[in-house]
Amino acid sequence: MRLPYDRMLSFSDGWPYDWRGDIRYNAGLLLDHLRANKPADGRWNLIGHSQGGLVIVAASALTASLAEFGQLVARVILVGAPLAGTMKATEVILWGSDNLGEPNVNAARGMSRTWPALHQMLPSWAAVVDPDGNPLPADRQLLSLGGWPGAWGVRLQPDMLQRAVDFQDMVHGPFSRMAGVATMAVLGNRQMSPVTVTRTGDQYPADGKSMANQKGDSLVPYRRTIDWGGAAVRE
């Protein structure tokens, strides 16, 4: 099936990676590729869509010096990158997915809990609220074990949540190690995108249909990402 961004294939080279793995690992592989195959007559131009944008940001954070990424890369364009996270990652970990068929919803949920990248894209903001819409304390948010009470936390691994915390700290200044690089972040703001889920006591809703929404691209909420990124993103 041809998709709009497939048209880029005529003038770009794809860089495949395992999107389930730890984003920092894939970022290391990308940085190795950029170093080993730097164009003889210039620098790389990188376009990262969705998680691919996070891989690029993380690669810049892994460089040996502040100047190195700019020596390798001339331009970076991030398209719909969940820089501050996405509630879509929460959906599959909480409720599973019927993409493998209705009988396999629970199996999909179990698999999702083994994928580091999914945890690293959990929302960085206070996404768990009480029935009145007030954010719950940090120890009951999704980056804490307290955010996954009782059966909701079955097979959830503390290591995965720690990876998420460490990764979000790593990419919080997404352009801070891109000196000398022309950067652009493209975000949508016309599709409803989930931003919070209500927790009543130790219970979440039966599915994600009741989550509150704001404008975005259906995956990445626009205002939450702008507020998280600060001046570097607003500009």
Say which DSSP state 43 is in: -
C-alpha atoms less than 13 angstroms from C-alpha of 72 in its C-beta half-sphere:
23
pLDDT at 220 over 70: yes
Give yes or no: residues 208 and 114 share one domain. Answer: yes
Judged on CB neighbours under 10 Å (0-12, 13-18, 19+), 39 is: exposed
Give yes or no: residues 114 and 79 share one domain. Answer: no
Give yes or no: residues 105 and 199 share one domain. Answer: yes
Residue 56, domain extent: 4-83+175-186
C-alpha atoms less than 13 angstroms from C-alpha of 106 in its C-beta half-sphere:
5
Query: What gap in Å lies between CA 75 and CA 207, rounded to an integer?
Result: 40
Mean pLDDT score, 33-39: 96
pLDDT at 97 over 90: no
Q: Please report which confidence band the pLDDT of residue 26 belongs to, taking 50, 70 and 90 as the band edges.
A: very high
Confirm whether 233 is domain-assigned. Answer: no
Per residue in 70-92, pLDDT (tens digit) is: 999 999 999 999 999 999 999 99
Cα distance from N-terminal residue to C-terminal residue, the chain: 36
Q: Which structure tokens are listed for 43? A: 């620098």
What's the confidence (pLDDT) of residue 210? 83
What's the confidence (pLDDT) of residue 53? 97
pLDDT at 5 over 80: no
What's the confidence (pLDDT) of residue 6? 67
**Strand-strand pairing, 73-79 and 44-49:** parallel
pLDDT at 98 over 90: no
pLDDT at 99 over 90: no
Tell me how many domains the chain contains. Answer: 2
